């Protein structure tokens, strides 16, 4: 299998576009307060499917965009399935550990990065914990895991098109098989996501008397002077004002607006990166472990000489690393320009310890699963693979357990 570039771009332009994509990712995630873990915890705490529905829409839009690009011959199929992961027990177990740790720490890899860039000290601690967790994984788990992968023990050993749903379903990677698979994957995700959002909004509307659409919100002193309803201001004026406020950073982005922008951003990287690098992989986890390796080089400790995982890890200069750096830059810019940046230390100091422990579990989980909620789950839906479904199930289970544990703390 040889990757086939879509456009004859220079590496300088590739790096530049990946950096731009990372900036957009960080900016939009910060302005939309986008967090995979919060979307899942809200299912079990407030019984809200609003943000989880947005996640499904995100996966569906990404799969639809990338799948149609391949189905209509814009991007060669090999560029979609080339880096599909090996499926195995480690994705299910790793995603469970990741979901549990991320829920304890209070955020997924994406939110951890943009909140750390917005001044949240707890997320700084979580990032350090993730580095330590990566090292623990590298010395204690990776030798066993790599052995099972190489020998196909409760795992596949081929990857690539073998994990590609068009091949799994039709034993073909033709344009038609990709098109049909795209519809099979994308449309149910989109419809289910929209349904869950509509169901939640309907439930909130009933619980609040249909006025504000928020669960359990009571406004005092409004019996004689009712609040103005949505029809008090013409819809076109409201829309213009909201757009203006978002442009001026006075108003946060809505969940669905953020979802659409993020999906388009991922599709952009898919086109730009096809044939050059990790397709459109957005890696927000392995860079943390690699950064720990580079820090230890300063005192003369070289992990790559005696630790197999670090020996085979990615180089420091690649588009993926740049994306993560620019993600942090974009998040910092959005928080600073909106006046939201502030060094925040939790009043309850035990949150720092919990953040560190959660970060270690995140580091172990993402490395075991071979990726995080962004670099594996979201990405794999766009790759028309099935590992994203495995990760989603394991992560949901881990988040559920974390919620139950926190209820007893």
DSSP letters, 387-402, are: HHHHHHHHHHHHHHHH
What pLDDT sits at residue 360? 94
Are 254 and 32 in contact by the 8 Å Cβ rule? The answer is yes
pLDDT given for residue 223 in this prediction: 42
- pLDDT given at position 312: 63
Distance CA 114, CA 106 (A): 13
Alpha-carbon span 130 to 102, nearest angstrom: 10
Q: Cite the DSSP H helix spans in 220-298.
A: 235-247, 255-273, 286-297
* Other CB atoms within 10 Å distance of the CB of residue 405: 12
- Local structure of 8: helix, strand or coil: coil
Q: What is the DSSP letter of 284?
A: S
Q: What is the pLDDT of residue 287?
A: 62
Separation of alpha carbons 116 and 128, rounded Å: 11
- What does pLDDT average to in each consecutive run of 10 residues of the chain (409 residues)? 75 87 94 94 94 97 96 91 83 96 89 93 91 91 91 78 90 96 98 96 66 38 42 65 80 93 93 70 59 80 78 66 89 95 91 92 92 90 93 97 89
**Cα–Cα dist 291/97, whole Å:** 22
CB 131 within 8 A of CB 285: no
| Nearest CA-CA partner of 50 in 254, 242, 216 | 254
pTM score, whole prediction: 0.88
Predicted local distance difference test score (pLDDT) of residue 292: 78
- Three-state DSSP class for residue 340: coil
Cα 226 to Cα 86: distance, rounded to the nearest angstrom: 58
Exposed/middle/buried for residue 247 (C-beta within 10 Å: 0-12, 13-18, 19+)? exposed
Which residue in 30, 108, 25 sits closest to 341, CA to CA? Answer: 30
Q: What is residue 210's predicted lDDT score, i.e. its pLDDT?
A: 42
pLDDT given for residue 289 in this prediction: 67
């Amino acid at each position: 299998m040889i990757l086939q570039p879509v456009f004859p771009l220079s590496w300088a332009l590739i790096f530049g576009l990946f950096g731009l994509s990372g900036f957009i990712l960080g900016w939009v995630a910060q302005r939309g307060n986008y967090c995979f873990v919060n979307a899942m915890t809200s299912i079990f705490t407030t019984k809200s499917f609003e943000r989880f529905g947005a996640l499904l829409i995100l996966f569906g839009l990404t799969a639809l965009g990338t799948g149609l690009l391949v189905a209509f011959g814009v991007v060669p199929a090999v560029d979609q399935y080339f880096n599909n992961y090996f499926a195995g027990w480690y994705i299910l177990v790793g995603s469970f550990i990741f979901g549990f740790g991320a829920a304890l720490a209070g955020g997924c890899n994406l939110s951890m990065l943009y909140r750390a860039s917005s001044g949240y000290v707890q997320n700084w601690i979580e990032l350090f914990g993730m580095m330590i967790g990566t090292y623990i994984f590298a010395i204690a788990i990776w030798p066993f895991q790599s052995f099972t992968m190489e020998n196909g023990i409760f795992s596949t050993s081929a990857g690539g098109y073998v994990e590609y749903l068009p091949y799994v379903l039709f034993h073909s990677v033709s344009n038609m098989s990709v098109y049909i698979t795209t519809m099979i994957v994308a449309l149910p995700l989109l419809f289910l996501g929209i349904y869950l959002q509509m169901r939640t909004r309907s439930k909130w509307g009933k619980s609040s008397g249909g006025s504000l659409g928020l669960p359990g919100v009571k406004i005092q002193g409004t019996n004689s002077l009712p609040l103005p309803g949505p029809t008090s201001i013409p819809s076109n004026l409201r829309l213009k004002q909201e757009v203006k406020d978002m442009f001026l950073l006075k108003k946060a982005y809505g969940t669905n607006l953020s979802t659409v922008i993020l999906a388009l951003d991922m599709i952009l990287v898919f086109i730009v990166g096809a044939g050059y690098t990790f397709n459109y992989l957005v890696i927000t986890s392995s860079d943390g472990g690699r950064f720990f390796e580079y820090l230890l080089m300063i005192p003369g400790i070289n992990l790559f000489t005696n630790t197999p995982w670090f020996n085979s890890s990615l180089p420091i200069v690649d588009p993926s690393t740049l994306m993560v750096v620019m993600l942090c830059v974009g998040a910092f810019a959005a928080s600073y320009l909106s006046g939201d940046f502030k060094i925040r230390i939790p009043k309850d100091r035990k949150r720092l310890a919990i953040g560190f422990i959660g970060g270690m579990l995140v580091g172990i989980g993402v490395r075991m699963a071979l990726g995080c909620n962004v670099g594996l789950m979201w990405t794999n839906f766009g790759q028309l693979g099935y590992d994203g479904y495995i990760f989603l199930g394991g992560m949901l289970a881990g988040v559920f357990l974390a919620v139950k544990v926190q209820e007893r703390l």
